[in-house]
Amino acid sequence: SPVRTVKAYDVVVVGAGFAGMYMLHRLRGLGFSARVYEQGGGVGGTWYWNRYPGARCDVESMQYSYSFSEELQQEWDWSERYAPQPEILNYANHVADRFDLRRDIQFDTRVERVAFDAHAKCWSVTTSDGETVEAQFIVLATGCLSNARKPDIKGLESFKGPVYHTGSWPHEPVDFTGQRVGLIGTGSSGIQSAPIIAEQARHLTVFQRTANFSIPARNAALTDEERNNFRNTYPEIRRFAREVARNGIFAEQPDRGALDDSDETRNGKYSARWERGGLTFMYVYNNLGLERSANDTAANFVRGKIAEIVKDPETAKLLQPNSHPIGTKRICIDTDYFATFNRPNVSLVDIKTNPIEEITANAVRVAGRDHQVDALVMATGFDAMTGSVAKIDISGPGGRTLNEKWAEGPRTYLGLMSAGFPNLFIITGPGSPSVLSNMIVSIEQHVDWIADCLVHMRRQGVATMEASGEAEDKWVAHVNEVAHGTLYPQANSWYMGANIPGKPRIFMPYIGGVGVYRRICDEVAAKGYEGFLLGRAEQPQAAA
């Protein structure tokens, strides 16, 4: 039979977003051969796909950046407090150039299937261009919010105008001038894009299923002084973000509960944070995520602000969230979202009381009334955390697939590995802090941990590593227990898988905090990778 030569790598990395890029950089530095496959035409992951108008990161730019290179963090100039998507994408491209990453990344290529060969102890990787390569290790750097989902709404396929999804926006800018636009979805993407679309469009109709809490961004240009202050204190800022802050963001930490202050003091604090803007609104007290009575004070404050901003009382009432505690769905950060509803060319349609009946050739029908639209924008979110992993056909040593194993919900040890799938790592997977944190802080921690682990294995002559079932069971129970000590599971959020019909309701990320989590991961490594099963390259020789 013909001899088949198969390319072999130490590591195949899936995805060239911020996780995949840094993983590649570390692997190279350690002398591992690596190949990265990326379905997009360029680097940047989330920031490559989410090109919708108004797209920004909700973590401030000086902190939503890599810390691994001192030169990089000193040389890059962020222009605004919250970087817009094009600038973050430029940054990703700059990193790819600066560290010469592109030569090991194959773009426009999906990894379709990975199967573990128990005999050869390696993974066979099949890509969308029909090639098969081998790798000792797989690293899934596939992202948590990367599998954009258009809902199944009756008649959608009969709509004659363009249908956009915020999470897979066209590369050419879309001009809505003169058009009647329908926007479905009021999560972060809908809330960021609505004000900009409203400025262009003849009319914008926002279809709202769940009203959402949003805090003003108070975005502004960064001054040289602000940039330099950050740069000069980066070591402390980064240390704090990694070790102290629960969510990987440097900010003052709350030292008291909401009910420890008088009403007047508390409202003063909320007002000050509202004026300052941004995510730190939620860190004024330490029990907003834990106790409903405390949470209500913050939620009421924001509902009051909405009533102040929005002139039409009925619209204001509809925009006031009442279905979930504030913060238990990811809090949104906006620029003029609520004020947008004061514009004469914007209307709000409640689709909670009366769901969309049907989409016709040129309208969205709700409660028997046709809302005429020329274009539709779906800001309907993602199959979060597991969606992009599930799209890859992953089969372990016995042929069992990861999708079969995760049918009742994702199960991992530390979010890093799943029992029964040796040598397959996940970056920011379910069971790790991930989406509850500054993603870049969590990405760097995972990448560094995996890199150290691979070096350990190489030194010790270990060929395979796998989470033990027992360690995984304990971790899953721990993740659950910590989540259920908070208010988070009370919301029908994508953290819970609740936005995808039929998806198991499991609180997916680890809510114990990035510092605590890092210490657990480090201890596990220090104890010789406790809870992982390590398989030697060769069985020890029987004594002669």
Instruction: Among 51, 81, 209, 411, indicate the residue that binds ligand NA7 (CB under 6 A).
Output: 209
- State the helix-helix crossing angle for 263-276 and 292-309, rounded to 10 degrees: 60
Contacts of residue 476, Cβ cutoff 8 Å, sequence gap at least 6: 411, 412, 431
φ, ψ of residue 466 to 5 degrees: the values are -155, 145
Other beta carbons within 10 Å of 263: 9
CB neighbours of residue 477 within 10 Å? 10
Residue whose CB is less far from ligand NA7, 167 or 396: 167
- Restricted to residues 83-142, the positions that interact with ligand NA7 (CB under 6 A) are none
DSSP 496: G
Other CB atoms within 10 A of residue 101 CB:
21
The residue from 93, 115, 151, 200 that contacts ligand NA7 (CB under 6 A) is: 151
**499 forms part of the interface with ligand NA7 (CB under 6 A):** yes
Which parts of 304-333 interact with ligand NA7 (CB under 6 A)? 330
**Site stretch for ligand NA7 (CB under 6 A), options 4-12, 156-164, 184-192, 239-247:** 184-192
Question: Among residues 136 and 499, whose Cβ is nearest to ligand NA7?
Answer: 499
Residue 61 or 395 with smaller CB distance to ligand NA7: 61
Residue 251 or 520 having the CB closest to ligand NA7? 251
Of the candidates 413, 401, 397, the one whose C-alpha atom is nearest the C-alpha of residue 532 is: 413
Residue 468 has a CB neighbour count (10 Å cut-off) of: 15
Q: How far is the CB of 542 from ligand NA7 (least distance, A)?
A: 55
Query: Cβ-closest residue to ligand NA7?
Result: 187
Q: Looking at beta carbons only, is 95 or 436 nearer to ligand NA7? A: 436
Length of the chain: 544
Q: Which of 61/166 has CB closer to ligand NA7?
A: 166
Separation CA 256–CA 385 (nearest Å): 32
The correct pick among 61, 63, 136, 166 for binding ligand NA7 (CB under 6 A) is: 166
Residues 6+ apart with CB under 8 A from 544: none
Distance CA 167, CA 174 (A): 14
489 binds ligand NA7 (CB under 6 A): no
Q: x/- site string to ligand NA7, residues 364 to 393, per CB under 6 A?
A: ---------------xxx------------
Q: Which of residues 188-207 bind ligand NA7 (CB under 6 A)?
A: 188-190
- Report the nearest approach of ligand NA7 to the CB of residue 326 (Å): 14
Alpha carbons within 13 angstroms on the beta-carbon side of residue 133 total 23
> Which parts of this chain interact with ligand NA7 (CB under 6 A)?
145, 151, 166, 184-190, 209-210, 330, 351, 379-381, 494, 499
